[in-house]
Amino acid sequence: MPNRRTFLKVLVSGFTMTGPDLLTPRFLHAGELPSGAAESTVREALSGKGPLIKRTFRPPNFETPVEVFKDVVTPNRRFFVRWHLANIPRLVAENWRLKVGGDSVAHPFELSLNQLKREFAPVELMAVCQCAGHRRRFSEPHVPGVQWGNGAVGNARWKGVRLKDVLARAGLRPDALEVVFDGADYGAIDRTPDFVKSLPLWKALDENTLIAYQMNGEDLPHWNGFPVRLVVPGWAGTYWTKQLIAIRAMPKPEKGFWMNTAYRIPAGKFPVTDRFLSQKGEADTAITEILVNSLITNIEEGQHCPLGRPVMVKGVAWDGGHGIRSVEVSVDGGKAWQEAKLEPHQGRFSFRAWHYTFTPSRTGKQVLMAKATDGRGSTQPFELIFNPAGYYNNVVQGITVEVA
C-alpha cells in the first residue's frame, strides 16, 4: 500500500496556497509557560495555538492546561484539540460549501460561507464543549482511549446560525428521524470508518444548536474546525462536528461505527434525561448531555498554604444546560461542606465561575474538594460510575494542600 501521507497533495486546481501548514509542534521555552505552572508534562504548540498538553501527535489530541480555566472564557489559542482521523484538510473559506440534503429533505441545496452569514439570522451564545472522554486517565481500572486529564473541555462564545433555520429552507419531510453530520476529515486508509455523527431531530431543531463560524469573536482556528463547525450546547463534544461540509436529514438511524459502536454508554447507569431513542440498544445507548462537573482552577496538588492566611479557592462548574444551582466546597476531605459564591451567570450552557475563601487553622495536609449541583438537582458523585469507554467522569475532585 503506498504511503499516502508522504505527499502534499494538491487535489483540485485553482486555489491559492498559503503555504503548507504542517503539523509541527514547537517545544516551548520555560519562559513561555504561565507563571506558577508546575506542569510536568511537556507542552507543545500546534500551528496557530498556544501551549497545550500533548496527548497524541497524529491525529492531534492536545488538552488545555488547567490554569487557563481561571478565565471563564477559554481563549481560542488555548482551546483543546481532538481529532479521530489523521487527514485534516486545510479548508479555504471561499471554496467551502455546505451540502444540505438527505432522504427526509424536499429541496436539497448548497451554501457558501457568505450565504450562511448573510441569509440566516446570526445567533451568539456561550457554551462548554467537553469531550466525552474528559478525565479518562483517572478511570479505575484504566481504559484504552486518549488519556485525557482535566483539560478536554473549554468554554467559548460561539456565533453562527440556527441549524433549524437551515433545515427549514431545505424543507424537512415529516418522516425525518435523525440529522446526520459529516466533516471534511478522513482516515489515512479508505477502509477506516469516516467520522459521521447524527442527532435526534428534536436536538437538531433546538434553537441553541448552531452551525457556527465564529468562536470568541474570531474565525474558528483550523484545529477547532475552520471554517464552520456544529455547536450542540449541553451535549458531548463528539456531536460538535468540525469542518462541517454535509448535513443530511434521514428517516432512519445512522448506523456507522461512530454512532453504532463508539460513544455509547451502558443503559440506565447515568443520570441523563436527554433521550436519543433511535440510537438506543438493548444494553447501551448513545451518549447525550454533559453531566454536572466542576474544577478547581487556581490550586495545584501539593501546593503550600501559609497557616492563618486566607486562601481563595477558585473554579468553574458546568452541566448539560440546566444551569448551575450551587457549588459547595470542602476543605477537610469531604466531611463538612460550605457554599461557594457563584459569579454572575453567563448563560446556562457556559462555565459558571465560583470562589470560596477559607483560612487554614492547623498545619499538615488538607484536602480541598468542590461539588457542583445542576438545576435539576443532579450532583457530582464521589465514586466513578465505571464504563468501558471511560466516559462521564464527573467524580468530585480532591486536591491536597500542605499547610505550614
Partner 1 sequence: MSVHVMNRFSAVTVVAVLYATAACGAEPNELEPGAGRDSVMANCVMCHSVDYIAMHASFMKRADWRKTVDKMVSVMGAPIDQDDIPVIVDYLTKHYSVE
User: Would you tell me which residues interact with partner 1 (CB under 8 A)?
Assistant: 1, 3-12, 14-15, 17, 20-25, 54-59, 86-92, 95-97, 99, 110, 141-142, 144, 146-147, 182-194, 196, 245-246, 257, 261
Instruction: State which residue, 186 or 358, has the beta carbon closest to partner 1.
Output: 186
CB of 196 to partner 1, least distance (A): 8
Instruction: State which residue, 11 or 121, has the beta carbon closest to partner 1.
Output: 11
CB of 95 to partner 1, least distance (A): 4
CB of 395 to partner 1, least distance (A): 18
Instruction: State which residue, 57 or 202, has the beta carbon closest to partner 1.
Output: 57
Alpha carbons 230 and 184: distance in angstroms, whole number = 13
CB of 230 to partner 1, least distance (A): 14
CB of 128 to partner 1, least distance (A): 25
Instruction: State which residue, 42 or 312, has the beta carbon closest to partner 1.
Output: 42
Provide the grid cell at 332: 477537610
Instruction: State which residue, 226 or 356, has the beta carbon closest to partner 1.
Output: 226
CB of 314 to partner 1, least distance (A): 30
Q: Give the torsion through C-alpha atoms of 350, 180, 276, 323, to 10 deg.
A: 10
Supply the DSSP string of 307-346, one letter for each residue. TTS-EEEEEEEE-SSS-EEEEEEESSTTSS-EEPEEPPP-
Alpha carbons 316 and 370: distance in angstroms, whole number = 10
The answer to whether 370 and 329 have CB atoms below 8 angstroms apart is yes
Instruction: State which residue, 88 or 166, has the beta carbon closest to partner 1.
Output: 88
Supply the DSSP string of 250-319, one letter for each residue. ESS---SHHHHTSSEEETTSS------GGG--SSEEE--BPPPEEEE-S--TT-EE-TTS-EEEEEEEE-
Tell me the backbone φ, ψ of residue 248, rounded to 5 degrees: -130, 125
CB of 8 to partner 1, least distance (A): 6
Instruction: State which residue, 195 or 349, has the beta carbon closest to partner 1.
Output: 195
Nearest to 153 by CA among 82, 203, 103: 82
The answer to whether 337 and 368 have CB atoms below 8 angstroms apart is no
Amino acid 162 reads: R
The answer to whether 120 and 166 have CB atoms below 8 angstroms apart is yes
